[in-house]
Amino acid sequence: MLFSAISALAAVQQSARPAAPLDPIDAILGAFKNHAIVALSEGEHNNEPSHAFRLALIRDPRFAATVNDIVVEWGTARYQDVLDRFIRGESVADAELRRVWQDTTQAHQVWDVPIYEAFFRAVRTINGSLPPARQLRVLAGDPPIEWEKIRTRQQTIDVERDRFAADLIQREVLAKQRRALLVWGGTHFIRRSVVGDAARTPSSIVGLLGPATQSAIFSIWAHTSGVELTSLQPDIASWRVPAMAMTRGTTLGDAPYRSYIIAKGGDGPRMEDQFDAVLYLGPLSSITYARLAPSLCADDQYMKMRLGRLAIADPPELPVPPGVLRPADRLKRQCDSVSGK
């Protein structure tokens, strides 16, 4: 069975043309000429090369001349007014601002590493040099949640994150005929289901926006984990970093989507049926990750908040597989690591 899957993948690679590297910023700005939305996946959360690329993209003078909105996963819509004021350049207290990323539906510390706050501050700085009519708006794409009223794990599970984001994009971007960059984890942008019937529309942001809207979306997979892209196309080792490649009709596009994630993933929809392009950020061994600030781990109020929310989302009676750390234990281990313990 495994031999058959490998043979089928090899045959596909021989019949498709090699993917060609493009300048990723030029390619993204070019995509906005025919698409209202560019959906740029983050890759694994917290990775620093993706963050560095996003900063380079938004700092290109052509970006603000082309794009109106940036919609991100790491902000709660409950504090959209706070984010709007901050991005416009108004005075916002740090304690008020941090609620934008600390009070999302995610109980864990995923957005608390410094790169996500740094992104907001970079947009604010860019807007400081632009006329009001041309300034970028950042939309918080995570649904509002009132943690002070959350008592059970089920309350956190019931939140429809992708449905909220799809409705927000439809209302604030598409209905207003604006252009937007979306930044989420890659699975939120898939067009076809990877479980069961591949023809079934998934409950991802792109899937929920519907087939009629998908032609307005140019989606990009940022590759930061899984298998080395050189296993799909060896000459990628010689590409400049970062680089972007189109998937349609290419070796990268004809490979199964699952083969990007696991070495034996030789079934399901092809990558070109899921994403329009792949962003290459270098060999996987070069991907680095941002860590929590030691000062945050030393903040008793912060740790009480995070551990309290994790106790709700991951109650002690919930079983975990052998050898897997509970989220609260992962947080403590991260804090021990950054504190040098």
For the chain, which residues make up each domain, given as ranges? 2-286, 294-338
Query: What is the model's pLDDT at position 263?
Result: 62
Query: What is the model's pLDDT at position 194?
Result: 80
Token pair of 322, please?
A: 């052998």
Tell me the C-alpha to C-alpha distance, in Å, between residue 29 and each of 22, 58, 82, 291.
Answer: 12, 10, 29, 31
CA 203 vs. chain centroid, Å, equals 16
Q: What percent of the chain has pLDDT over 90?
A: 83
Query: What is the model's pLDDT at position 7?
Result: 45
Q: Taking a C-beta distance cutoff of 8 angstroms, is the pair 45, 188 a contact?
A: no
Tell me the C-alpha to C-alpha distance, in Å, between residue 152 and each of 34, 212, 309, 315.
Answer: 45, 38, 10, 9
Distance CA 34, CA 218 (A): 9
Query: What is the model's pLDDT at position 208?
Result: 95
Length of the chain in terms of residues written: 341
H or E segment at 81? Answer: helix 80-87
Q: Give 314's pLDDT tier (boundaries 50, 70, 90).
A: very high
Task: Tabulate helix, strand, coil % of the chain (nearest 5).
Answer: 50, 15, 40
119-151 pLDDT per residue, tens: 999 999 999 999 999 999 999 999 999 999 999
- Specify the range with the lowest mean pLDDT, choosing from 49-63, 74-88, 133-147, 197-211: 197-211
Distance CA 320, CA 332 (A): 17
Give the mean model confidence (pLDDT) for residues 152-157: 94
Q: What is the mean pLDDT of the chain?
A: 92
Q: Give 199's pLDDT tier (boundaries 50, 70, 90).
A: low
Q: Give 14's pLDDT tier (boundaries 50, 70, 90).
A: low
Distance CA 73, CA 71 (A): 7
Query: What is the model's pLDDT at position 197?
Result: 59
Distance CA 193, CA 107 (A): 26
Q: Does domain 2-286 have CATH number 3.40.50.11550?
A: yes
Token pair of 150, please?
A: 């959350």
